[in-house]
Amino acid sequence: MRALCLTLVIAVLLLFSSNLIQAQTTLTKLNQVELMKQWIGIWKAEIGKDTTFIIDCKSFNKGLEFYIKKETKGKIIVDWKTLVGYDKNNDKLIEAEIYGNNPAMLLYSLWFTSANKCEEILLKDVVNPDKATNKWAFEFKSPDLLIWTDLINNKSTNTYTFHREN
């Protein structure tokens, strides 16, 4: 009888513990669609003598449209356009990019790991993101300050500091 009572108590405790763990997981899930709205606006970074990196992000339906360019003395060096939308099945954002005058489409997966940090990798690497050669990390330090870090083999190669212009 005593063993039966002990087994019953343990089973009830396990049942309540699993509900608590599940509730904590549900509470910490990030709303990727809402968080991506932090990008909206015009962001500028000074990246060299007379050289500017500009991100112009607008809302497009329920996604985002980016026009990104690097300029030197007002002349465009390189530019690209991207569309970003939400993939409900994977709870990640998907970005489709056309870079420069190359018609090839590049696809990326990005997601917020916290309310102000976002990671991005090539879509082909999404099955094993820890092994992705190229990664990009973004951190919104404040509503008007964004840090963009390029990573190759998990080592920082470039860091850009963007300020929101509007």
Longest dimension (CA), the chain: 85
Six-digit token pair at 153?
Answer: 């083999």
Amino acid 13: pLDDT: 40
* Residue type present at position 122: L
The verdict on 160 and 79 lying in the same domain is: yes
Number of domains in the chain: 2
97 neighbors 80 (Cβ within 8 angstroms): yes
Q: Other CB atoms closer than 10 Å to residue 41's CB: what's the count?
A: 17
Look at residues 102, 99, 103, 120 and name the one whose alpha carbon lies nearest to residue 111.
120
The verdict on 93 and 21 lying in the same domain is: no
Amino acid 1: pLDDT: 54
Q: Rounded distance, CA 158 to CA 160, Å?
A: 7
The verdict on 131 and 119 lying in the same domain is: yes
Domain holding 130, by residue range, is: 32-164
Q: Rounded distance, CA 117 to CA 159, Å?
A: 15
The verdict on 104 and 125 lying in the same domain is: yes
Q: Rounded distance, CA 165 to CA 144, Å?
A: 8
Amino acid 5: pLDDT: 44
Query: Between vectors from CA 125 to CA 58 and to CA 156, what angle results, nearest 5°?
Result: 75
The verdict on 70 and 46 lying in the same domain is: yes
* Band of pLDDT at residue 10, cut at 50, 70 and 90: low
Residue 101 clears pLDDT 80, i.e. is over it: yes
The verdict on 21 and 42 lying in the same domain is: no
Amino acid 27: pLDDT: 52
**Chain segment 109-148, per-residue pLDDT in tens:** 999 999 999 999 999 999 999 899 999 999 999 999 999 9
The verdict on 69 and 13 lying in the same domain is: no
Helix/strand/coil for 13: helix
**Chain segment 18-76, per-residue pLDDT in tens:** 444 444 444 579 999 999 999 999 999 999 899 999 999 999 999 999 999 999 999 99
The verdict on 67 and 94 lying in the same domain is: yes
Q: What is the mean pLDDT of residues 97-105?
A: 91
The verdict on 83 and 103 lying in the same domain is: yes
The verdict on 23 and 100 lying in the same domain is: no
Amino acid 8: pLDDT: 40
The verdict on 21 and 76 lying in the same domain is: no
